[in-house]
């Protein structure tokens, strides 16, 4: 099987691991920088150009690792591969949904998956009402398309919340506001779902004076045992978003587990080091078993 890894380069841990495991299973793998791909339309057979060559039909499967800063272009490249009949480990529509936090929460809350109380608005004239609707400060303020903990702010007082929210509105930046789950104590759970099966899970623990538990923010990780409810939430989240591979983030609260985010290109370094599970191989095996199924 010929596989294209859509990634900015082999210096990324997850990309290296996926390439290693694919080659161990006997597959040919190329790392394709999707930011350097161009799509040519208007002929009977649309083309995807990379380094002067048409690669639109050169692979049996692609594994997208699309960065947040180039989501729209990356999704367009994935979409074109799909339209050319190439299997994708993550569908273009699913990547778009997962990258936008509001879309994700709208879809999943509509399916009955528990989430923190969440509000989104673009109205700068009733900020106090928005804060009050969540029970007052402290509140969490998130940029809708941030990743790795970037664009996530804890506003501990009403005054700071008003100031931050007003600033984002004036910058025309789309945000959402969520209740602060104090009892989570700077911890969350990352669950990897592949092919609608939970393959690994870890607890992420924030460093002192930091409420975000992301590994990229200096958080530590450890293996964790999931409850049946947590497994159910993770599997259903991947199912409803249409993701073959997903990183599902959950908080443990007094009300039970609450989903906070879903990642269509979850990092592998933290989860593999914390659990000892070969997640990269599981991804390749998922592609291997489904490459005959066209999106």
Residues 166 and 212 grouped into a single domain: no
Residues 145 and 192 grouped into a single domain: no
> What pLDDT does 151 receive?
81
Residues 161 and 203 grouped into a single domain: no
Residues 76 and 24 grouped into a single domain: yes
Q: What is the average per-residue pLDDT within 46-66?
A: 95
Tokens describing residue 53: 């060559």
Using a pLDDT cut of 90, give the percent of the chain over it.
79
Residues 165 and 208 grouped into a single domain: no
Residues 149 and 190 grouped into a single domain: no
Q: What is the average per-residue pLDDT within 215-244?
A: 89
Using a pLDDT cut of 70, give the percent of the chain over it.
93
Tokens describing residue 237: 């989240």
**Residue 32 in domain:** yes
Residues 8 and 84 grouped into a single domain: yes
> What pLDDT does 206 receive?
76
**Spatial contact of 265 and 246, defined as CB atoms under 8 Å apart:** no
> What pLDDT does 73 receive?
95
| Residue of 38 and 43 predicted with greater confidence | 38
Q: How many domains does the chain have?
A: 3
Report the C-alpha gap between 177 and 196 in whole angstroms: 29
Domain C-terminal end among 159, 180, 201? 180
pLDDT of 69 over the 90 cut: no
> What pLDDT does 294 receive?
46
CATH number of the structural domain spanning residue 10: 3.40.50.20
Residues 45 and 69 grouped into a single domain: yes
**Residue 285 in domain:** no
**Residue 197 in domain:** yes
Residues 196 and 238 grouped into a single domain: yes
Query: Is the previous residue joined to 21 through a cis bond, with omega within 30 degrees of 0?
Result: no
**Residue 155 in domain:** yes
> Across the chain, what does the average pLDDT equal?
91
**Residue 240 in domain:** yes
**Tens digit of pLDDT for each residue in 148-164?**
557 889 999 999 999 99
pLDDT of 241 over the 70 cut: yes
Report the C-alpha gap between 150 and 162 in whole angstroms: 20
pLDDT of 133 over the 90 cut: yes
Residue 294 CB partners (closer than 8 Å, separation 6+): 82, 85, 87
> What pLDDT does 51 receive?
95
Residues 138 and 68 grouped into a single domain: no
**Residue 280 in domain:** no
Report the C-alpha gap between 203 and 225 in whole angstroms: 9
> Whole domain around residue 166: which residue ranges?
118-180
Domain C-terminal end among 180, 215, 232? 180
Residues 190 and 174 grouped into a single domain: no
Of 221, 111, 131, 113, nearest in space to 180 by CA? 131
If DSSP codes are grouped into helix, strand and coil, which group holds residue 205?
A: strand
If DSSP codes are grouped into helix, strand and coil, which group holds residue 26?
A: coil
pLDDT of 288 over the 50 cut: yes
With bands split at pLDDT 50, 70 and 90, how would you rate the model's confidence at 208? low
Residues 176 and 188 grouped into a single domain: no
């Amino acid at each position: 099987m010929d596989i294209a890894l859509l990634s900015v380069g082999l210096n990324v841990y997850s990309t290296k691991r996926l390439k290693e495991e694919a080659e161990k299973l006997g597959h040919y793998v190329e790392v394709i920088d999707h930011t350097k791909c161009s799509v040519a339309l208007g002929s009977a057979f649309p083309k995807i150009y990379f380094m002067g060559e048409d690669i639109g039909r050169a692979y049996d499967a692609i594994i997208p690792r699309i960065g947040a800063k180039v989501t729209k272009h990356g999704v367009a490249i994935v979409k074109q591969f799909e339209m050319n009949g190439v299997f994708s480990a993550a569908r273009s529509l699913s990547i778009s949904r997962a990258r936008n936090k509001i879309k994700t929460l709208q879809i999943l809350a509509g399916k009955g998956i528990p989430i923190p109380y969440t509000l989104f608005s673009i109205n700068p004239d009733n900020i106090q009402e928005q804060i009050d609707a969540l029970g007052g400060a402290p509140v969490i303020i998130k940029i809708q398309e941030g990743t790795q903990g970037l664009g996530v702010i804890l506003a501990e007082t009403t005054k700071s919340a008003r100031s931050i929210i007003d600033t984002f509105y004036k910058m025309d930046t789309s945000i959402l506001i969520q209740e602060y789950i104090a009892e989570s104590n700077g911890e969350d759970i990352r669950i990897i779902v592949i092919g609608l099966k939970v393959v690994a899970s870890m607890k992420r623990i924030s460093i002192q004076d930091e409420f975000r538990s992301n590994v990229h923010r200096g958080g530590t990780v450890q293996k964790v045992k999931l409850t049946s409810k947590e497994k159910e939430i993770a599997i259903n989240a991947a199912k409803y978003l249409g993701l073959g591979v997903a990183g599902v983030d959950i908080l443990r609260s007094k009300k039970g587990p609450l989903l906070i985010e879903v990642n269509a290109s979850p990092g592998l370094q933290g989860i593999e080091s914390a659990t000892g599970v070969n997640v990269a191989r599981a991804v390749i095996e998922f592609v291997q078993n489904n490459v005959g199924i066209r999106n």
